[in-house]
Structure 1
Amino acid sequence: MSQATVEQIRERLAAALAPTELEVLDEGHKHAGHANAGKGHFHVRIASAAFAGVLPIKRHRMVYAALDGLMDHGIHALSIDARTPNA
């Protein structure tokens, strides 16, 4: 399921934000011993011109909006590094 979720995250972010850089990491292995360990923990690094002039909290909201539906099915935790292409 994790690899399928990684692909869904990539596809949705690519379609919504046209990133110049996109990396999606499955970090489930870092959560051994926690509730939902190994399931649904991801980190996204994304650079997009869509983030130009946008505050970090709004950038995160844009990522969450693109992943609507996955946040309740497949993603338990998501960390985000969202920046502009030249940052």
Structure 2
Amino acid sequence: MSMKQTIFEKLSKEFAPTHLNVIDESELHRGHAGYREGGNSHFRVQIAAAALDGKTRVAQQRAVMDCMAQELKEAIHAFAIEVSPSDKFRP
């Protein structure tokens, strides 16, 4: 399973988001620290989930990073997180 899919599945299971987009930005960092051929090193996550609503920005970021702790420790070099209110993406 790709790291992108792992991130998507773990965050989906943990937060049941109304919106989740996982973007592999590794190619944008070619030649920089942490870049690996083939990607899977630099990610941006855009998430909206009721479980994150009402928390401070720091608490939101911490919750997402706690969920991804193992991957951040072992495989991911950079991980940007953008949190939006869950009702922004409700039909």
Q: TM-score, normalised by structure 2?
A: 0.86
Give the Å deviation of 1:73. Answer: 1.8
Matches within 5 A, 1:1-87: 4-38=2-36, 39=39, 40-87=41-88
Deviation per CA, 1:2-39: give whole Å up to 9, x if none. x7100110111011111010000000011122112244
Tell me which amino acid in the other structure corresponds to 1:65.
D
Whole-Å separation in 1 of the counterparts to 2:60 and 2:84: 8
Q: TM-score, normalised by structure 1?
A: 0.89
Pairs aligned (count): 85
CA RMSD of superposed structures (Å): 1.4
Larger relative helix fraction: 2
Whole-Å separation in 2 of the counterparts to 1:68 and 1:35: 20
Whole-Å separation in 1 of the counterparts to 2:35 and 2:2: 17
Could you tell me which runs of 5 or more consecutive residues in structure 1 were left unpaired when the two chains were aligned: none
Tell me which amino acid in the other structure corresponds to 1:53.
G
Whole-Å separation in 2 of the counterparts to 1:58 and 1:24: 20
Could you tell me which runs of 5 or more consecutive residues in structure 2 were left unpaired when the two chains were aligned: none
